[in-house]
């Protein structure tokens, strides 16, 4: 299984985990780009994964109407993903009262509903760390249901 296939499998597993709680889930869609082939120079379509805001694999809505983003990763890569989300800045065009225009950055707002799902290798268990700090020692453990062959194909 390639790294891409493994990542997509983890995303489907996380989606099933969130949906088993009765939540609505939307995963970020892949984006197709036409890129030149390094060997032939001809352009070909390449499927690239696209995250929400460049950081999150999906968004969910609970039965109570709470909304949050989720990021799927492995336990080994948890701290790198946490750092990436917490360090995330968004460029924004700004006009100052003196008429000067420039780019400035603001931190992406992380809420208690945002989660990182850290997958435990070889299981269907995720350690779920909640925002805004995503502390792993305080993480809950959620078990994903078994994926049907139908959900694996989609």
Task: Report the alpha-carbon distance of residue 26 to residue 46 in Å, rounded.
Answer: 22
Strand partners, 119: 74, 126
Inside any domain, residue 112 = yes
Is the residue at 83 inside a domain? Answer: yes
Predicted confidence band of residue 103 (pLDDT cuts 50, 70, 90):
low
Q: Is residue 123 predicted with pLDDT exceeding 90? A: yes
Res. 152 pLDDT band, cuts 50 70 90: very low
- Residue 34, in any domain of the structure: no
Domain of 107: which CATH number?
3.40.1350
For 36-62, the pLDDT digits (tens) are 888 888 998 877 767 887 789 999 999
Residue 36 domain-assigned?
no
Domain total in the chain: 1
The rounded distance, in Å, linking the Cα atoms of 49 and 67 is: 22
Round to whole Å and give the CA distance between 69 and 15. 12
SS (H, E, C) 43-61: EEEEEEECCECCCECEEEE
Tell me if 35 is assigned to some domain. Answer: no
- Greatest Cα pair distance in the chain: 61
Task: List C-alpha distances in Å: 76 to 2, 109, 122.
Answer: 18, 25, 13
The parent domain of residue 85 ranges over 3-28+54-153
């Amino acid at each position: 299984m390639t790294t891409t296939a493994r990542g997509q499998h983890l995303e489907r597993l996380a989606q099933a985990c969130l949906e088993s709680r009765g939540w609505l889930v939307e995963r970020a869609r892949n984006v197709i780009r036409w890129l030149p082939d390094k060997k032939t120079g001809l352009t070909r379509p390449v499927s690239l994964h696209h995250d929400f805001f460049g950081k999150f694999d999906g968004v969910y809505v609970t039965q109570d109407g709470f909304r949050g983003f989720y990021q799927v990763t492995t336990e080994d890569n948890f701290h790198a993903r946490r750092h990436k989300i917490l360090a995330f800045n968004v460029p924004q065009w700004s006009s100052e009262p003196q008429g000067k225009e420039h780019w400035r950055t603001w931190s992406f707002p992380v809420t208690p509903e945002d989660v990182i799902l850290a997958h435990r290798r070889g299981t269907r268990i995720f350690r779920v760390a909640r925002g805004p700090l995503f502390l792993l020692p305080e993480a809950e453990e959620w078990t994903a249901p078994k994926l049907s062959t139908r959900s694996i194909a989609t």
